[in-house]
């Protein structure tokens, strides 16, 4: 998955990390931040359709 939206999201996460932890710490963990942001972006943009949505009730009788 690639594209402008992904790059923008990763940039936003990196800027947030800098604001929260300071530029030195954010730079130290830059690779981890980028890979985690890319994974979050991929999961949050994964298309769910009724036939692939996760089960929300464990037993057929639950309502």
pLDDT digits (tens, 9 = 90+) for 9-62: 999 999 999 999 999 999 999 999 999 999 999 999 988 777 766 666 666 665
Tokens coding 17:
């990390």
Q: Which domain holds residue 11?
A: 3-44
- Give φ, ψ of 25 to 5 degrees: -65, -40
DSSP-H helix ranges across 1-63: 4-21, 23-28, 30-44
Answer whether residue 25 is part of any domain. Answer: yes
Query: Per-residue pLDDT for 1 more than 90?
Result: no
Answer whether residue 49 is part of any domain. Answer: no
Among 30, 38, 29, residue whose Cα is nearest residue 10: 38
Q: How far is CA 43 from CA 4, 23, 27, 34, 50, in A?
A: 16, 27, 24, 14, 17
Answer whether residue 53 is part of any domain. Answer: no
Specify the number of domains making up the chain. Answer: 1
Q: Say what the pLDDT of residue 48 is.
A: 76
């Amino acid at each position: 998955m690639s594209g402008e939206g992904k790059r923008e999201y990763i940039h936003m996460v990196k800027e947030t990390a800098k604001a929260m932890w300071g530029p030195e710490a954010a730079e130290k963990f830059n690779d981890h931040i980028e890979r985690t942001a890319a994974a979050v972006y991929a999961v949050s943009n994964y298309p769910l359709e009724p036939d692939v949505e996760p089960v929300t009730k464990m037993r057929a009788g639950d309502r």
